[in-house]
Amino acid sequence: MSNLDRQAGVSVCGGRGFVVAEPVRELLTPRRVQLGESTEVRRLLPNLGRRMVGAWAFVDHYGPDDIADEPGMQVPPHPHMGLQTVSWLHDGEVLHRDSLGSLQQIRPRELGLMTSGRAISHSEESPKPHARFLHGAQLWVALPDAHRHVEPHFQHHTDLPAVTAPGLTATVILGELDGAASPGTAYTPIVGADLALTAGAEARLPLNPDFEYAVLSMSGEAQVDGVPVVAGSMLYLGCGRTELPLRADSDAGLMLLGGEPFEEEIVMWWNFVGRSHEEIEQARSDWMTSARFGDVHGYDGGRLPAPALPPVALKPRGRVR
């Protein structure tokens, strides 16, 4: 999914100075962003107070939206570099096309994982015809310097491992959780898991104390470490935890996101993750003037033009908690 914000700001993210090295309970409020004609997303990362969680650098939650009489998701061809996109649905379908020639319909609880590496472009749209409801999350994972120029590739996995307990099913989307490992390619120590809880369930999920974590609420009513987390919000949990208490007041859907704190500072703007303002500027120019990102064939419409890049070059700066 693209960041369609035409006033996209440049963010310096990463670095351990922004990591809270102890357990905390920091509730993040989303920013609402319009995505096309009929889809509004709630943007949780980057957030004014929290830029990354491990290598997770971007989180949008959308729906559930009734799109029976709407076009649904319509994201024209757009570029990416230096990151992975993770598509995760609870309702509906999304048709993915990319400049490698991939054409894949992604359905609920199937992993669509695109590694942009040095450069790729793709589009996403609700197929015709499509289901009545659309509900999901789109997430980005920053690639470390050693792997950010890899050849681009796309993976689609329908059979994902799960960790279970009474009233809880934790499907491992990316990375590893309690010994269960996703087949999706990861380039940093990371975890992403979909948590489905039944009403009244209480569980304690094992965690890695070296990771920082956050929990995104997708639906229902649940308490995370005693904190009520309503749908569309995210609770940042810091580091140093060995387990996470969960309680469901109704049937609830959550996403657990975590990973080893990302040591490198990155520059993120629009749909690019780089290491300098100059690198971002070159990527924007290449999207507008060259064939670096390739072409997406089959999408009914033109590609997405890049917004104007802020003229002031960013310099590394210290991070605060």
Q: How confident is the model at residue 15 (pLDDT cuts 50, 70, 90)?
A: low
pLDDT tens digits, one per residue of 114-139: 999 999 999 999 999 999 999 999 99
CA distances from 258 to 31, 106, 191, 218 (A): 21, 23, 5, 16
- pLDDT attached to residue 77: 97
pLDDT at 185 over 50: yes
Residue count of the chain, please give it: 321
Q: Which domains does the chain have, with CATH numbers?
A: 25-259 (2.60.120.10)
Cα 257 from Cα 54, distance rounded (Å): 8
- pLDDT attached to residue 150: 98
SS3 179: coil
| Residues of the chain above pLDDT 90, percent | 85
Asked if the peptide bond before residue 64 counts as cis, ω within 30 degrees of 0, the response is yes
Cα 24 from Cα 8, distance rounded (Å): 30
Q: How confident is the model at residue 46 (pLDDT cuts 50, 70, 90)?
A: very high
pLDDT tens digits, one per residue of 212-230: 999 999 999 999 999 999 9
Largest CA distance in the chain: 56
Segment 45-50 mean pLDDT: 88
- pLDDT attached to residue 315: 47
